[in-house]
Amino acid sequence: MSGRSFHTSVDRYFDQAAAYARVRPGMLAQVKSCNSIYRMQFPVRGDDGEVVVVEGYRAEHSHHRLPTKGGIRYSPDVDLDETIALAALMTYKCAIVNVPFGGAKGGVRFDPRKASEGFRERVTRRYTAELIRKNFIGPDIDVPAPDYGTGEREMGWIVDTYKNLNMNSPNVYACVTGKPISMQGIPGRRQATGLGVYFGIRACLDRTEDMKALGLAPGIRGKRVIVQGLGNVGYHAARYLQTDGGAVIVGIAEMEGAIHHPDGLDVEAVAAHRRETGSILGFPGAETVTPSAAILEAPCDILVPAALENQITAANADRIRARIVAEAANGPVDAEADAILRDRGVLMIPDVFLNAGGVTVSYFEWIKNRAGVSFDRMFSRHEATMKQDLLQQIEALTGAGIPPETRQRLVRGPGEEALVMAALDDTMTRAYDRIHACWKERALPDLRTAAFLTAIEIVAGSYEHHGIFP
């Protein structure tokens, strides 16, 4: 999918929702527009000693809240239109889950899979230096995070570069999120987007009336699920759907192909097989599906596209047999396909809500870095003492002893990761309740329109209330 067509789809979703907005036309134009764009070309020394000119981008879509926030993507397909579209989605995601950031996105055009670690590091550090030079990064300005083709390692290189070029700057570790734990990252960030997908799907399937309209029983348990993409997002979404939700994962697709089993696939076992062999193909007992994209058309209750954008288009939308499409990736369904699926009665859980788990936990990491202390450290000892006293009083009053293992669990309380996961669960559930109420109360055509409309009105309200205009 070209960045231009992806950008067109995002703008089309915006326009569909804007028709229902209680917002002045001029303000709608401001919410839709991308505030700042930085396109750069910089030299990096290749492994052979020759100079390679690399192209990169950073788009800050909305300054209604600062800092702006968004991932950095490494891919040979990165372009400016894609970067702007992804930045716009970040603005709307942050508004929907009530995270106080504007949206941003970055990208560097090269293939990290074909590059050495040394070249990736040189690209990352030079890209960071370019962002610093133009004031496109900083704890109060613009805070990147991982995206397709990047991860904890790249975020570590970014914070190290930023720290060394801004030695007297406060809160340097808050300049980027998704860092390794050893560099003041936060537990749970790695699985946050996939776990957020699980929480969002669970919230949707708990609505009895909506499931009745689809001919499904409420709840995830027993639902047949196909997941496209076994990367960070797809793997964790599939794992939680299977282990916590009780779903049956009947199909998994990756770049090398797809596999299917009507009785279900063990996600952990498939991931282990891929680590050992380099492919999901050949997994014992599974049927190989070719081409890989054909798995999208297999019968299931829930289809979870968790790879790249434009996987479902007008060319294949008529053949999708899922009753629910849960967009774990950014833009996996284009605007034409979205209309076809909606007319066919397929329930779409939109990406602008569903994959906001990553930015939610990034927000928690940013808060932690600015505070300089983990969430459980300030109160854990005090709470343990209070709980110990309370349990002793209960034992004294009842005359019954509390088993040691139970006492230890009750006194210790949650650690930082448990607190983060609980807050993510609460955030995704509340966000779904918000867009679902908008959908029903304002008689909108679908959840996607409700999600975009919710975001538009929140962002416009922020501009109005903060008196940003001169």
pLDDT of residue 234: 94
pLDDT band at 3 (very low <50, low <70, confident <90, very high): low
Domains 3-182+448-465 and 214-349 in one fold: yes
In this predicted structure, the answer to whether residue 316 has a pLDDT above a threshold of 60 is yes
CA angle 310/316/321 to nearest 5° reads 110
CATH code for the structural domain at 214-349: 3.40.50.720
Cβ partners under 8 Å of residue 275, min gap 6: none
Mean per-residue pLDDT, 156-181: 92
Q: What is the DSSP secondary structure assignment for residue 297, as one 8-state letter?
A: G
Q: Where residue 61 falls among pLDDT bands split at 50, 70, 90? A: very high
Q: Report the distance separating Cα 67 and Cα 362, nearest Å.
A: 12
**Domain covering 3-182+448-465 in this structure, CATH number:** 3.40.50.10860
pLDDT of residue 413: 58
Residues counted in the chain: 470
Has residue 364 got a pLDDT over 90?
yes
What is the residue whose two structure tokens read 């940013």? 366
Question: Domain extents for the chain?
Answer: 3-182+448-465, 214-349
What angle is formed at CA 103 by the lines to CA 227 and CA 168, rounded to 5 degrees?
A: 115
* pLDDT for 263 beyond 60: yes
Nearest to 280 by CA among 247, 318, 235, 220: 235
Q: Answer yes or no: 223 catalytic.
A: no
- Percent pLDDT > 90 in the chain is 77
Average pLDDT over residues 123-146: 96
- pLDDT score for 92: 97
* Active-site option among 32, 69, 93, 105: 105
Cβ neighbors of 149 (< 8 A, separation 6 or more) are: 73, 74, 75, 112, 113
Angle subtended by helix axes 192-205 and 357-371, to nearest 10? 130
List alpha helices for 166-231, DSSP H: 192-205, 208-214
Spatial distance between the Cα atoms of 249 and 290, rounded to a whole number of angstroms: 18
Tell me how far CA of residue 100 lies from CA of 53, 58, 95, 216, 330, in angstroms. Answer: 36, 19, 7, 36, 20
pLDDT for 166 equals: 85
- Helix (H) / strand (E) element for 262: namely none
* Whole-number pLDDT of residue 414: 60
- Other Cβ atoms within 10 Å of 33 Cβ, number: 11
Which of left, alpha, beta for 142 (phi over 0: left; psi -120 to 50: alpha)?
A: beta
CA 167 to chain centre: 31
Residue type at position 212: K
